[in-house]
Amino acid sequence: MAQYKLIHCNINGKDVEKMVDVRASLTDMLRNDYHLTSVKKGCEVGECGACNVLIDGECFNSCIYLAVWAEGKHIRTLEGLLGPDGELSDIQQAFMEETAVQCGFCTPGFIMTAVEILESGKEYTREELRKLLSGHLCRCTGYENILNAVEKTMKKRLGKV
């Protein structure tokens, strides 16, 4: 089996082509080849959520997702949420307003999961949101503020505020 494979995918709205080691994780490709440092290397076994990215609109732990599996996929990282003039997205702004950012290490992964939740267009109860966000570990225990930020953004998007 070949050790390298050429893949084509879309990262944050840009079509890219890259020769990747077939053993490399998507985290490694995004960080090392594209300098997308919002994708954090945490546990590297798919348990902490720090490396979460959206792949075709669904959240995945990029540390256990092989780079070669990205062939033909649309990948979004935190950097892809910025507006055309560098302005923050509504969920990023809510994280700041609700002080949901402490050390910041887990924040990108939480925000990417929140994007998946928010883009569903559904209204969730606070308990449902808690469960949907449960795949993340925050050592600073910022869970309540994170939950507040996601709930606030959801309600704004649904016109409930």
How do residues 82-98 score in pLDDT, each as one tens digit? 999 999 999 999 999 99
Q: What number of CA atoms fall less than 13 Å from residue 65's CA on the CB side?
A: 22
Instruction: Provide the percentage of residues in the chain whose pLDDT is more than 90.
Output: 93
Average pLDDT of every residue of the chain? 96
Q: What's the pTM?
A: 0.94
Please give the pLDDT value at position 1.
61
- Of 95 and 1, the one with more pLDDT: 95
Q: Which amino acid is at 154?
A: M
Three-state DSSP class for 155? helix
DSSP 70-126: GTT-EEE-GGGGS-TTSPPPHHHHHHHHTT--SS-SSHHHHHHHHHHHHHTT----H
Please give the pLDDT value at position 63.
98
Cα radius of gyration (the chain)? 16
Q: For residue range 6-49, list pLDDT tens digits in order.
A: 999 999 999 999 999 999 999 999 999 999 999 999 999 999 99
Please give the pLDDT value at position 142.
80
